[in-house]
Amino acid sequence: MPFFRSRIRIAIAILAISAAGGWVWSASSEPEIDAQMTTPGEVPYPSLDTNDAVVGKQLPDVDVTDLEGNTIDLQSFVGSPIIVNFWYSTCEPCRREIPTFAQAQQTHSHIRFIGLNMNDSPEMAKAFGEKYGINYPIVFDPSGTVVRELGVATAPSTLFIDTSGNIVDQVAGEISSDKLESLITQWFPS
């Protein structure tokens, strides 16, 4: 029995020395990677794109096309309050909010509503517009200039533009009927 006890003591001693040696070696080694913690709230990896802040900018002077392919100068809408909604047919929040814009267009005839389609063919956009009751112009940005100049990266997105063509507000994401009415009252009182 003493033989086994001495072997167990030797095994425990070797294990303890190995663990202590490993800790000393690990603590004294210099890491090859300089890891640095981020500050609270800072995302250490790429995030989803967001829209550029454009409040205070002017509506770009570029051409868009309508459902029939006719060219329209975007500036031709300036002179009335304008609400531009960026959308596409497979965007679920777009589908939910489009009827809200159609209803608001009926109620607020002094405002020019424009649906700028970001992704669909004219045929698809027209069918979508008929299904969801779009009663305002649907336009396209074939060159991507409007989207690029306004930094629109997400849909739906909505811009509120005063009679001089200045962007006074922007909303990324779905707008409820109450929110839309609140913003119309704030920016475009009748």
Angstrom distance (rounded) from CA 49 to CA 137: 27
Identify the sign of the CA torsion 59, 140, 90, 154. Answer: negative
Give, for all 190 residues of the chain, the pLDDT tens digit.
Answer: 666 677 777 767 676 676 666 666 655 555 554 444 444 555 444 444 577 888 999 999 999 999 999 999 999 999 999 999 999 999 999 999 999 999 999 999 999 999 999 999 999 999 999 999 999 999 999 999 999 999 898 899 999 999 999 999 999 999 999 999 999 999 998 7
For residues 126 and 138, is the Cβ–Cβ distance under 8 A?
Answer: yes
- For 92-116, b where at least 16 C-beta lie within 10 A, e where not — what string? eebbebbebbbebbeebeebbbbbb
CA distance 95 to 150: 22
Would you mind telling me the total number of residues written for the chain in this entry?
190
Superfamily of domain 63-187: Glutaredoxin (3.40.30.10)
Residue spans of the domains in the chain: they are 63-187
